[in-house]
Amino acid sequence: MKKTNDSFTLEFAKDSGFDRTEIYFYSGTPDLMGVYFSEDTKQNRLFVTDNTIAALECNRDFVRHFNVDLGDISDIKINESKVYRNGGDTLCIIGSGEKYKTIESVLEMVKAALDSNFNRNCLFIAIGGGVITDMTAFAASMFKRGVDVEFVSTTMLADVDAAVGGKTGCDFGNYKNMIGAFYPAKKLHVFSDFVKSLSQKEYISGLAEAIKTAFLFDKEMLELFKNERDKVLARDSEILNRLISGCTKAKAKIVHEDLKEKGSRAFLNLGHTFGHALEAVSGLGEITHGEGVAWGMARAFEYGRKNGLCSDEYAQNGINILASYGYNVGKANVPAEKILDAMRKDKKNMSSVIKLIVQDGPQSTKIIEATDEKILEVLR
């Protein structure tokens, strides 16, 4: 493991109720033992991960520390977990994927800490993608009215978006992240090499959030996506480090300014109102979050073009970039009316009027109120 010189601190606003998140970037093979077991600690720690991450070759020494039988975790049922202990440390493993992002899984983490007799000085540590980081931080926010939490992000989606900024929670029914809280991690450890272990589907899912960040904030990164497609898809190490570092810092800046999404942080929802709705009506887990967001961004560009908010050229350029990475940018295979109904239920809506994030040009973003009729025009 090699720790890079690229690290920084996300400072939260003084009136936010939170202090800071220390963010560290690493190159080379991920080494959980080096991060968490190189020095003795008297602090009780709950490590949380999923069975896919636990089975990675680079995590072999870590799971051996807890005497985990990989055969025992190959098929974990929904709303259940496997729990292992070694001294003052506990490891809780759940199944992998969006379908495990339930309140029952969150409570499995709380139960593991209670059964280990942890007090309020304990530390929760999430090792995984957005599903794991969201749920572990939510569990930490509830356990004995709040204990510290740290993240080791392992997916592109978590690296560039989900692990940064303090949003936590779980799905409820068919609706994404309907239960949760703002509860930032104290530390975030980012190993870009974890991304190389992802399936192509999961990598492409996370890439959508990086493309979104480029549309919103980073002209040079957007040019990289246009001109270096082959290197991006090949997961070139230099490209990965540029994307992950750039996206993390861009999001950190917005979170510092607006932790609880009262203003500019809402821009980060570009594509999400459409995308979350498509995920919900398709059945959570049937399409990836990134696939939904990319499709949602294409709908937002189309909305802007149809309603004179941006030029045809700008909208088509955005749609073309998304299409070049294999995302669906056309109509969905579900009824438009069902998508609209799900959009009305999105947790980001503060009134009966649906609000959309749209762009009128490069790195120029606004929030608008959209009528049902105009939304249906881009869904049908």
Q: At a CB cut-off of 8 Å and minimum separation 6, what does 53 contact? A: 59, 96, 127, 128, 132, 154
132 vs 285: which has the higher pLDDT? 132
- Confidence band of 83 (pLDDT split at 50, 70, 90): very high
* Pairwise CA distance, residues 334 & 343, whole Å: 14
* Pairwise CA distance, residues 248 & 101, whole Å: 23
* Pairwise CA distance, residues 336 & 36, whole Å: 49
Given a cut of 80, is residue 346 above it in pLDDT? no
Token digits of residue 106: 């969150």
Neighbours of 8 (CB within 10 A): 14
Tokens 């937002």, located at residue: 300
**What percent of the chain lies above the pLDDT cut of 90?**
83
Task: List, for residues 8-21, the tens digit of each pLDDT value.
Answer: 899 988 888 899 99
- What local confidence, expressed as pLDDT, does residue 348 receive? 61
CATH match of 2-198 with 3.40.50.150: no
- What local confidence, expressed as pLDDT, does residue 283 receive? 87
125 vs 350: which has the higher pLDDT? 125
Given a cut of 90, is residue 353 above it in pLDDT? no
Q: At a CB cut-off of 8 Å and minimum separation 6, what does 79 contact? A: 100, 102, 104, 105, 108
What would the mean pLDDT of 102-128 be, rounded to a whole number? 98
Selection from 104-113, 341-350, 352-361 with the highest mean pLDDT:
104-113
* Pairwise CA distance, residues 244 & 196, whole Å: 13
Domain boundaries, the chain: 2-198, 266-379
Task: List, for residues 64-78, the tens digit of each pLDDT value.
Answer: 999 999 999 999 999
- What local confidence, expressed as pLDDT, does residue 349 receive? 62
Planar angle of CA 257, 263, 265, nearest 5 degrees: 60
Contact status, residue 329 vs residue 318, Cβ threshold 8 Å: no
CATH tag for 266-379 (out of 3.10.310.30, 1.20.58.1610, 3.20.20.140, 1.20.1090.10)? 1.20.1090.10
What would the mean pLDDT of 309-330 be, rounded to a whole number? 97
- Confidence band of 337 (pLDDT split at 50, 70, 90): very high
**Sign of the C-alpha dihedral computed for residues 275, 276, 278 and 279 taken in this order:** positive
* Pairwise CA distance, residues 376 & 11, whole Å: 41
> Average pLDDT over the chain, rounded to whole?
93
Instruction: Measure the CA dihedral 280/281/284/288, to 10°.
Output: -90
Q: Could you give the count of Cα atoms lying within 13 Å of 20 in the half-sphere of its Cβ?
A: 7
344 vs 215: which has the higher pLDDT? 215
Given a cut of 60, is residue 364 above it in pLDDT? yes
What would the mean pLDDT of 334-338 be, rounded to a whole number? 94
- What local confidence, expressed as pLDDT, does residue 378 receive? 96
Contact status, residue 267 vs residue 239, Cβ threshold 8 Å: no
Task: List, for residues 290-317, the tens digit of each pLDDT value.
Answer: 999 999 999 999 999 999 999 999 999 9
* Pairwise CA distance, residues 186 & 300, whole Å: 34
> Hey, do 2-198 and 266-379 end up sharing a CATH topology, with the first three levels equal?
no
Q: Among candidates 78, 275, 48, which has minimal Cα distance to 161?
A: 275
Given a cut of 80, is residue 4 above it in pLDDT? no
Q: Does pTM top 0.85 for this prediction?
A: yes
226 vs 175: which has the higher pLDDT? 226
41 vs 175: which has the higher pLDDT? 41
- Confidence band of 1 (pLDDT split at 50, 70, 90): very low
Contact status, residue 176 vs residue 279, Cβ threshold 8 Å: yes
